[in-house]
Amino acid sequence: MKIELSGIRKAYGRKAVLNNVSLTAEEGSCVGILGGNGCGKSTLLSILAGVQKADGGSFVCDGHDLLKEAGLRNSAVGYVPQCDPLIEELNAWDNLCMWYDKGTLKRELEHGVLAMLEIDGFLKVPVQKMSGGMKKRLSIGCAVSSAPRILLLDEPSAALDLVCKEKIYRYFESFRAGGGILLLATHDLQELACCDQCYILKQGILYPYVYDGDIHRLAENLL
């Protein structure tokens, strides 16, 4: 499997947020997209997820443009936005039941993705009483209900403690080992270490970037 983003454009009025954004990624890879606040990272991921429409460009996987084929996109792509898309009044089990049939849900909780994310430990906890880490793991669990091959994550470990980050990163490694592709919008240096490729999105243009551990050089490039 391979994905190709080509010439993706988005403008709000006269302001170009994405200007011919292009990249490729092979199966089993992790791509990190860096950039300052408001640079368009979230816009790009929401377009790839089908939440927003692009003004132009393509998102091709196995010869199909997922920007045009919504059915294929919905099965092939999982999306975890910055704000957890959970129903606050419901507990974890009830949120999951909106995405899984009960047979699949039980199997996944016993020895699948949801077990790996350790969601079985807080099934009866209402979302409004969950920690940030619980919410993020539950959001990921909901996002992968269709067994997607491509996972889009918008700052997945922001404000999480190290233990929770480790659980999420362990799942990322498993996802990649199965041939999945991860696209991360991130500011987190730990997440950068997981990435095979990095890009900086700046003034609507996506630039390749090789992170060598020099934080000061990275910060200068983000300005």
For 28-47, write each residue's pLDDT tens digit: 999 999 998 888 999 999 99
- Answer whether 48's CB lies under 8 Å from 124's CB: no
Handedness of CA 48, 151, 125, 191 (dihedral sign): negative
- For the cut 80, the answer to whether the pLDDT of residue 159 exceeds it is no
Count: domains in the chain: 1
pTM assigned to the model: 0.93
Structure tokens belonging to residue 89? 């009044």
- Give burial (CB, 10 Å; 0-12/13-18/19+) of 135: buried
What CATH number has the domain bearing residue 88? 3.40.50.300
What are 161-182's pLDDT values in tens digits?
888 888 899 999 999 999 999 9
For residue 155, count other CB atoms closer than 10 A to its CB.
20
Which three-class secondary structure state does DSSP give residue 142? helix
Residue 218: phi and psi, rounded to 5, are: -60, -45
| Residues contacting residue 217 through CB under 8 Å, at least 6 positions apart | none
Confidence of residue 223 (pLDDT cuts 50, 70, 90): confident
Structure tokens belonging to residue 31? 């791509």
Residue 93: phi and psi, rounded to 5, are: -60, -50
| Residues contacting residue 32 through CB under 8 Å, at least 6 positions apart | 184, 186, 191, 192, 194, 195, 197, 198, 199, 211
Q: Which domain range does residue 110 map to?
A: 2-222
